[in-house]
Structure 1
Amino acid sequence: MSDFVGDRNSVFTKNEEKTNLVRSQKEGSFKFTFFWAASANGTAQLMSATVATFVSAFMTDVMLIPAALCSLIMLISTAWDAINDPIMGVIADRTSTKWGKYRPWLIPAPILLTLFSVLMWLNPDLPTTGKAVFFLIVYIGYGMTTTMYTMPHVALLPACVQKDEDRNRVIHLGAIFSTLAFSFASSFTTQITAFFENTLGVRNGYVPMMLIYGVLSMVTFWGLFGCSKEKYVVETEKKVSAKEVFKVLGDKAIWPLVIIWLTFFIGYGLNFSSAVYYLTYYMGNPGLITPFFLMNTVTGFISIGILFPIFMKLFRGPHNVFKITLLVSIICYVILFIFGSKSVPLMFALSGFVNLFTTLQFALIQVLINDAIDYTQWKTGHSANGIVASIKGFAQKCGNTITSSGMLAILAVSGYIPNAIGAEPTSAMFAINAMRFGIPVIFAVIQIFCLSKDPAIIYKTEIDAMKMAE
């Protein structure tokens, strides 16, 4: 360890006056902050939110692919998606161009994202097996494209902005865009597609909607490419290889963060993805979908725009805020699991209240990524932003795999009947309620425990010293 410390001093020692001057300045220009927030968290999120909310129902109720087969499609595609995340992380860290390691990937990603996001909503005139194969190919392409922009985007923030308070400012705006995108897509997709189909005579309203989102994503990703500069990347003399992924994962201190990422995306994914099924079949009223998501839009904006900065000061940092949001969500989900179907006003009121807290968790997840990046740089002596981002992406995609294929598998096993409003078996009703509120409670408890093991908190003094030396 003494040799390691000596090496680090030789790498990071700089003129003290220059360091103090830099540290007194706010990092992250307005353009960088805007485009970082508006790209992956904004325009691309519009597409991913549409997919997360409506694609399962589109497969089962429009394409008429059996739920069991849909589950298999999601299992295959998202499992591969999870595997290619570490591959992309290694590729990103090995990239060496005059534009940097991570920025070049922002150019092709939105083009491919637009292509696959449009193809996903086509309903080709094929037999069931043909439709399933078509969707599988397209969904794999969509997932790989998402990986192409997610890894560099996540790695770019700590490479461009060093101080935690400046990173949190960028993350805050990203959370606002993410909330806006998720809320807009989940609340107005039905109306937008209906406008294209009924007013403009378009056969499938999803296609022009996704094309518009795609053009907006090109503007924001290319804007981020143009205004970003990778300043805080510490090179390693050794060539980055796939072994680095296992080396990082071999550090047990990272695993609490990996578990948080995995359980968060399973719990939140099940809660969010099952909402349409819950309102349509468990509550028996598909007319609740639009007002429900509109309510989430309002509470989401209140959460990110007002509560986020207040909670950060009141509870002294993101880790304490995260714990508070998890505790509140546990209490509310238990109540909704037992009493949610008894009263629509009660369900709306409690769902809106808990959304004030769960919305914050998306921003706080990004803080944990930066924790892992900082800890890994302190532990290894060089930057591994792409690899750490890929590990988070791997955990997220594993969570998405379990969510997408698991939800459809549970529906299939429970006896779910497509379009049978008011006639679903009791087993299917219980399964929908459990996915919406029951299972997320279990994972929230696990996350609270793991937060106490965050290595960035345990080794905060050493990591702060490393940053001061840069």
Structure 2
Amino acid sequence: MENTTAIKRLKNPNYMCVVYGVGKLLFAMMTCCELYYFSAFLTDSALLATALVASILSITSVVDFVLSFFIGVFLETIRLPWGKYRSWLLVAPPIVTVLYMLMFTRVSDNETVAAAVIIVAFILSHLIWSIGEASINSMSLVMTDDLDERARLSVWLGRGSMGNTLIFGLVATPIMSFINGLTDGKLGFAGLALVMGLLYLVGYWWLFFATRGCEETSKDRIAAKQPKQKSNLGPAIKSAFTNRHLLVTMFCIAATYCYMIGQSGSMFYYFTYSFGGTWITYMGIFVTLISCGRLVGSIFVPALLKLCKGNKQMVYIIGFFGVALFDLLPYLLNPAPTVAMVLILIGTLFGACPLAMWLGLYQDCAVYSEYKSGKDVKGFIMSLSVMPVKLGITVKSFIISAFLLGIGYSATAADTAAYPDSFRALFLLVPTVICVAAGVLHLLIYRLPETKVAEMQAAIDQRRANA
């Protein structure tokens, strides 16, 4: 890293962007194990009773969401020797990998004992990986002070988030099949979790070693005879709840994941009942095309950002409105399935914008909080980025459940006349409303232009230099 008196910049921007994006990609691939296979493991491999499976899923989801409120507290109060954020890139992956493998392992013939181990492993692994995820989100703030470089890092982080399902879908089944062949069909899920956990470890450790020297360590403070750092937890909490730019951005992040994962969760019903016929057989291909669409869209985000003269908020809002438009059209027109899928895929190109821009906007919110509070609170602010993701996922579950209950859904129902329109609304109209609400609110409330953020960052740098 290069640190001048004027501004800290990346020494090798292209290389560091790739390392940063790969770290996020491999982490996101690991989380796909849970997204696609956790329920299947509980029912088809661990062979737990359905009621017990429901309890496990409910308990883990609720506890995981509640703990997300405290990630910032842990990150702010726990001091490790390699830097406040960088340390967790080293520490979190090996612990998470072991616990993650236990999540996909039935350790006892006793169902209660087996379920207890799975629940504990789930909660602890998610707690530690959430701290690590908050840290990797924060790393871009300590890697560079240049706003353009932070925007590039944000784009690459988004690409990592968008490319994970494409790669995971290609490698997951072969890995599980190979391990099942070695273990008589018993450890396929656990083996996949282990492999993905090790890849996650490689990605985070690569970033850890690539960012050597970019963050102050305990040795640096001892050498400089600096006093032990005091916790900024109080000012951090106050700065978070008084930062309207942060609050609206958190809402929009929750909206992004709510509509994305909501569409994933309702896609089966949309293809089965709204399209009908044999279209459900094409759902797997469509999932892959959605991943490709977002990845392709991310390639054009830098050009759009340049066209918008570096205005990240404008790109962010264009993304929301683009998704809304191309979800609303197939809802209103109700065209042939092929036309509907093409329109939705065009929308995924716009969907890359919120995923690519959210971190850059969030970083600007952290700069604002640090500038206003006069304290180094960016770690706490960045750690809160985990919470809206989990909130969006939770809200998604309530929305889908409400629709299913509202229409009295049953897989064996004789009368399904109400299903096609209902599931078309769930899959297309609900995301439209969510995206419009997010775009409008961010446009009305968020007021942090790049020039203002640059001025605040310069003032922070000057404050540090004078300290």
TM-score clears 0.5: yes
| Partner of residue 437 from structure 2, selected from 431, 446, 456 | 446
1: CA distance between counterparts of 2:74 and 2:390? 18
| Partner of residue 326 from structure 1, selected from 308, 320, 325 | 320
1:345 CA drift (Å): 1.5
1: CA distance between counterparts of 2:95 and 2:266? 28
1: CA distance between counterparts of 2:432 and 2:367? 30
Aligned residues of 2:68 and 2:387 also touching (Cα < 8 A): yes
Say whether 1:19 aligns with 2:11: no
Say whether 1:48 aligns with 2:31: yes
The aligned counterpart of 1:313 is: 306
The Cα offsets for residues 261-292 of structure 1, whole Å up to 9 and x where unpaired, read as: 22222222212333345445654544223311
The aligned counterpart of 2:74 is: 91
- Alignment length (residue pairs): 446
Say whether 1:257 aligns with 2:249: yes
2: CA distance between counterparts of 1:430 and 1:69? 33
1:177–1:257 CA distance, 2 compared to 1 (3 A): closer
Q: Tell me which moved more, 247-256 or 424-433.
A: 424-433
The Cα offsets for residues 366-392 of structure 1, whole Å up to 9 and x where unpaired, read as: 112111111111111122122112222
Letter in 2 for 1:355: T
Letter in 2 for 1:35: V
Letter in 1 for 2:322: V
Letter in 1 for 2:430: I
1:236 CA drift (Å): 11
Letter in 1 for 2:185: V
Structure 2 unmatched ranges of 5 or more: 222-226
Say whether 1:403 aligns with 2:379: no
Letter in 1 for 2:138: A
1:346–1:192 CA distance, 2 compared to 1 (3 A): farther
The Cα offsets for residues 439-465 of structure 1, whole Å up to 9 and x where unpaired, read as: 221221121122222242395464254
Letter in 2 for 1:167: R
The aligned counterpart of 2:204 is: 221
Letter in 2 for 1:269: I
The aligned counterpart of 1:295 is: 289
| Partner of residue 376 from structure 1, selected from 365, 369, 373 | 369
The aligned counterpart of 2:448 is: 456
Say whether 1:436 aligns with 2:419: no
Aligned residues of 1:162 and 1:232 also touching (Cα < 8 A): no
1:236–1:182 CA distance, 2 compared to 1 (3 A): farther
1:256–1:174 CA distance, 2 compared to 1 (3 A): closer
1:448–1:193 CA distance, 2 compared to 1 (3 A): same
2: CA distance between counterparts of 1:64 and 1:428? 31
Letter in 1 for 2:66: I
2: CA distance between counterparts of 1:130 and 1:277? 35
The aligned counterpart of 2:343 is: 350
1:292–1:442 CA distance, 2 compared to 1 (3 A): same
2: CA distance between counterparts of 1:423 and 1:186? 35
Structure 1 SS opposite 2:448? helix
Aligned residues of 1:374 and 1:456 also touching (Cα < 8 A): no
The Cα offsets for residues 315-344 of structure 1, whole Å up to 9 and x where unpaired, read as: 22321111111111111111233456x533
The Cα offsets for residues 146-187 of structure 1, whole Å up to 9 and x where unpaired, read as: 312111111121022111111122222222222221222356
The aligned counterpart of 1:8 is: none
1:135 CA drift (Å): 5.3
1: CA distance between counterparts of 2:345 and 2:160? 19
1: CA distance between counterparts of 2:239 and 2:293? 41
The aligned counterpart of 1:386 is: 379
**Mapping of residues 184-195 of structure 1, within 5 Å:** 184-186=167-169, 189-190=172-173, 193=176
1:203 CA drift (Å): 4.2
1:199–1:75 CA distance, 2 compared to 1 (3 A): closer
The Cα offsets for residues 110-143 of structure 1, whole Å up to 9 and x where unpaired, read as: 2233234334445789799888766544433342
Letter in 1 for 2:150: R
1: CA distance between counterparts of 2:333 and 2:37? 26
2: CA distance between counterparts of 1:413 and 1:126? 39
Letter in 2 for 1:358: G
Aligned residues of 1:44 and 1:217 also touching (Cα < 8 A): yes
The aligned counterpart of 2:258 is: 266
Q: Tell me which moved more, 220-229 or 159-168.
A: 220-229
2: CA distance between counterparts of 1:429 and 1:207? 38
Q: Tell me which moved more, 174-183 or 370-379.
A: 174-183
Q: Which has the higher contact order (CA 8 A, sep 6+)?
A: 1
Say whether 1:101 aligns with 2:84: yes
Say whether 1:466 aligns with 2:459: yes
2: CA distance between counterparts of 1:126 and 1:414? 39
What TM-score do you get using the length of structure 1 for normalisation? 0.80
**Mapping of residues 50-69 of structure 1, within 5 Å:** 50-55=33-38
1: CA distance between counterparts of 2:436 and 2:399? 20
Aligned residues of 1:86 and 1:245 also touching (Cα < 8 A): no
2: CA distance between counterparts of 1:244 and 1:164? 22
2: CA distance between counterparts of 1:354 and 1:133? 42
Letter in 2 for 1:366: L
Say whether 1:79 aligns with 2:62: yes
| Partner of residue 336 from structure 1, selected from 330, 336, 339 | 330
**Quick one: percent identity of the two aligned structures?**
18
1:55 CA drift (Å): 4.3
Structure 1 SS opposite 2:232? coil
| Partner of residue 141 from structure 2, selected from 158, 166, 170 | 158
Aligned residues of 1:82 and 1:397 also touching (Cα < 8 A): yes
Aligned residues of 1:337 and 1:438 also touching (Cα < 8 A): yes
Aligned residues of 2:245 and 2:448 also touching (Cα < 8 A): no
1:406–1:203 CA distance, 2 compared to 1 (3 A): farther
The aligned counterpart of 1:111 is: 94
Letter in 2 for 1:38: V
1: CA distance between counterparts of 2:397 and 2:55? 10
Say whether 1:172 aligns with 2:164: no
What TM-score do you get using the length of structure 2 for normalisation? 0.81
Q: Tell me which moved more, 325-334 or 89-98.
A: 89-98
The Cα offsets for residues 280-321 of structure 1, whole Å up to 9 and x where unpaired, read as: 56545442233112222332332122x112111122232111
1: CA distance between counterparts of 2:55 and 2:123? 13
1: CA distance between counterparts of 2:420 and 2:74? 45
Letter in 2 for 1:77: T
Say whether 1:149 aligns with 2:126: no
Provide the aligned C-alpha RMSD in A.
3.8
